[in-house]
Amino acid sequence: MAKQIDLEGIEAARVMGALSPETQRRFDKATWRLTGHPNDVAHTAFTAIGVAVGSSRQPVSTSDKKKLFAFAEQLIRDGSHDLAFSVASAFLGTVWQAAQNGGLDFSDVDAFLGPESRRYLTWLDDVEGTRTSGFRRA
């Protein structure tokens, strides 16, 4: 049985954001005055982290990407339903969108995807009717 993650929402995003200087900057900028429903705040924070990963102007290092995607996989696999949804839709969805817009070569992050992340992104490709370049479906 998987170990349940004790972190929720914005606290999980805070830990994830701290995994690289670029994601920390995006997290801080997106959340410094953010208020509202906790799920909305977490979604905004995970989106900001995804924007950092997809940025070509201030790239996240390969070693930090590896840590970010490993943590995302853990949150999706072992977190609550709300947390898993937020990480998948906001973080992974934003990274996926960066690849669709040409700002990210998805092959730069594909090797770091765990099975749950890969399953979500395959579903996203299918729903949107796309085949993300650089993304291995299985």
pTM equals 0.91
Please determine, for residue 5, whether its predicted confidence score (pLDDT) is greater than 80: no
Q: Is 112 exposed, middle or buried (0-12, 13-18, 19+ CB in 10 A)?
A: middle
Report pLDDT for 1.
41
Please determine, for residue 62, whether its predicted confidence score (pLDDT) is greater than 60: yes
Contact 108, 134 (CB under 8 A): yes
Distances (CA, A) of 4 to 11, 62, 120: 15, 28, 20
Tell me the one-letter amino acid at 135.
F
Report pLDDT for 58.
86
pLDDT tens per residue across span 24-57 = 999 999 887 767 666 678 899 999 999 999 998 8
Alpha carbon distance 54, 97 (integer Å): 8
Contact 64, 19 (CB under 8 A): yes
Return the percentage of the chain with pLDDT > 90, whole number: 76
Report pLDDT for 38.
62
Average pLDDT over residues 86-98: 97
Average pLDDT over residues 109-125: 97
Report pLDDT for 3.
57
Report pLDDT for 34.
65
Report pLDDT for 82.
92
Distances (CA, A) of 84 to 33, 101, 123: 24, 24, 15
Alpha carbon distance 8, 125 (integer Å): 27
Domain boundaries, the chain: 9-128
Average pLDDT over residues 61-88: 96
Structure token digits, residue 93: 């969805």
